[in-house]
């Protein structure tokens, strides 16, 4: 897909600010003439995530195995009924490149227009991001289809976040609440307990599809994004115990490796992150020539984990105080993000905004405690990974 213009980017931001989840596709000159568009990886993922279509299980043949989905073409002043045709053409020796087409779309497009595909009400809604003046229509005092459509989606998608915000403000109204336990993780565990959420070690979000990330106020710690094990089959090392043996050190009688790895320079153990965009891999590399690249993550797998875990997130801050050896929290603010900018992921590794931690240690009895490979974001880099967020005060005057 071509680079977006400044106007298209501004329109995309408006949709993001109004909680519109979407995918983009370019209608090329050839595609317009032939009536076909390639269903790119991002389009395929979007359709699958929204339970509209799964190309992975679709057989070849447009006529015998093609699928039609109800669709709506959004024009400047109307909604036009359409059908989306999704298929894999017959091809020898390969699976057939996934295709998509919307009946009647050619009337409303020119070559190289960028189309926003929006899943809503089990239909695919198509909006020409290049041609339609979204900013004018949504700010208009007059009733128009686009404004009504965006407002409706915004209201529906914000139902859960509004419910959560009300609960957080009720918790904040209690003042300082005692920590559930005395540990670094106490703040998250305490909040989940107050929200009646069972302890979450899964990869899925915490509260009805919304991820909760809480931190102590004024503590400039990095924000935890997700944990993801390397692809051991592609990696030179086959376990984190091998990593501990290769790079660990003794501290206070414990053999350990408490390690942060960045893309901007080697750490004390000589380790660095390296992105390879041709292979679509993230490597961890050692300055020891006999080791070199020893861990591999697939960048698409990492992006998928980010998209799943942080489709919508509340980043919550609390004031902490200690009395009589116990910790207490006053939950004060929340920052609400949606739809991470997945294409930024590799870049943020390259500039050191996203790092990887893996704390590992071997106890005197020989057992190993391994807390996994954890991807973290610098505290001031939230706006580099997500579209403009909303900030809420939890303490109501």
State the pLDDT at residue 205.
Answer: 59
75, 146 contact by CB (below 8 A): no
Q: What are the C-alpha distances in Å from 88 to residues 27, 48, 59, 106, 382?
A: 18, 15, 7, 21, 39
Q: Which residues contact 181 (CB under 8 A, 6 or more apart)?
A: 189, 190
Instruction: State the Cα–Cα distance between residues 11 and 1, nearest whole angstrom.
Output: 17
Q: Where are the alpha helices (DSSP H) in the chain?
A: 6-17, 29-34, 41-49, 62-65, 134-138, 145-157, 159-172, 186-194, 240-247, 299-309, 345-350, 382-385
DSSP state of 359: E
- Can you give the length of the chain in residues? 397
State the pLDDT at residue 199.
Answer: 66
Q: Give 202's pLDDT tier (boundaries 50, 70, 90).
A: low
Q: Give 100's pLDDT tier (boundaries 50, 70, 90).
A: very high
Q: What is the pLDDT of residues 387-397, one digit of tens each?
A: 878 899 999 76
Q: Which residues contact 391 (CB under 8 A, 6 or more apart)?
A: 333, 334, 335, 336
Q: Which residues, in sequence order, are bridge partners of residue 221?
A: none
Q: Give 347's pLDDT tier (boundaries 50, 70, 90).
A: confident
Instruction: State the Cα–Cα distance between residues 184 and 189, nearest whole angstrom.
Output: 10
Specify whether the backbone of 188 is left (phi greater than 0), alpha (psi in -120 to 50) or beta. Answer: alpha
Q: Which residue has the tokens 């926003």?
A: 116
- Segment 309-328 mean pLDDT: 92
User: What token pair was written down for 271?
Assistant: 């380790």
Torsion, CA 100, CA 105, CA 109, CA 115, rounded to 10: -50
pTM for the full model?
0.67
Q: What is the pLDDT of residues 124-183, one digit of tens each?
A: 999 999 999 998 998 888 888 888 888 888 777 788 899 999 999 999 999 999 998 888
112, 26 contact by CB (below 8 A): yes
Per DSSP, the residues of 96-151 read ---EEEETTGGGG--TTEEEEEEEETTEEEEEETTTS-HHHHHT-SS--HHHHHHH
Instruction: State the Cα–Cα distance between residues 17 and 30, nearest whole angstrom.
Output: 33
State the pLDDT at residue 379.
Answer: 85
User: What token pair was written down for 44?
Assistant: 């395929």
- Hey, CA dihedral for 36, 42, 45, 49, is it positive or negative? negative
CA angle 254-260-262, nearest 5°? 155
């Amino acid at each position: 897909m071509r680079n977006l213009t400044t106007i298209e980017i501004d329109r995309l931001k408006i949709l993001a600010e109004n909680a519109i989840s979407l995918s983009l596709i370019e209608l090329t000159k050839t595609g317009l003439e032939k009536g076909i568009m390639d269903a790119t990886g991002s389009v395929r993922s979007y359709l699958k995530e929204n339970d509209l279509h799964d190309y992975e299980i679709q057989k070849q043949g447009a006529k015998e195995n093609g699928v039609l989905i109800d669709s709506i073409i959004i024009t400047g002043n109307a909604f036009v009924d359409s059908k989306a045709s999704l298929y894999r053409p017959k091809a020898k020796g390969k699976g057939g490149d996934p295709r998509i087409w919307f009946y009647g779309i050619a009337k409303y497009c020119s070559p190289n227009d960028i189309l926003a595909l929006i899943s809503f009400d089990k239909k695919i809604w198509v909006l020409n991001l290049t041609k339609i003046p979204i900013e004018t229509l949504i700010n208009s005092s007059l009733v128009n289809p686009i404004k009504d459509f965006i407002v409706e989606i915004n209201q529906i998608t914000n139902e859960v976040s509004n419910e959560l915000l009300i609960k957080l403000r009720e918790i904040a109204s209690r003042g300082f609440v005692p920590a559930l336990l005395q540990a670094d993780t106490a703040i998250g565990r305490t909040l989940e307990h107050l929200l009646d959420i069972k302890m979450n070690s899964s990869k899925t979000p915490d509260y009805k599809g919304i991820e909760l990330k809480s931190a102590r106020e004024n503590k400039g710690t990095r924000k935890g994004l997700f944990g993801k094990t390397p692809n051991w089959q592609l990696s030179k090392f086959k376990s984190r115990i091998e990593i501990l043996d290769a790079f660990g050190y003794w501290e206070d009688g414990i053999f350990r490796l408490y390690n942060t790895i960045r893309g901007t320079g080697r750490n004390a153990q000589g380790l660095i992150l390296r992105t390879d965009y041709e292979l679509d891999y993230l490597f961890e590399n050692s300055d020891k020539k006999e080791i070199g690249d020893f861990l591999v993550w697939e960048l698409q797998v990492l992006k998928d984990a980010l998209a799943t875990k942080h489709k919508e997130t509340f980043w919550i801050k609390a004031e902490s105080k200690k009395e009589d050896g116990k910790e207490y929290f006053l939950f004060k603010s929340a920052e609400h993000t949606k739809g991470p900018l997945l294409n930024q992921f590799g870049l943020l590794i390259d500039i050191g905004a996203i790092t990887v931690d893996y704390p590992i240690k071997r106890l005197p009895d020989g057992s190993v405690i391994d807390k996994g490979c954890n991807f973290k974001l610098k505290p001031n880099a939230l706006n580099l990974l997500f579209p403009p967020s909303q900030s809420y005060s939890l303490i109501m005057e």
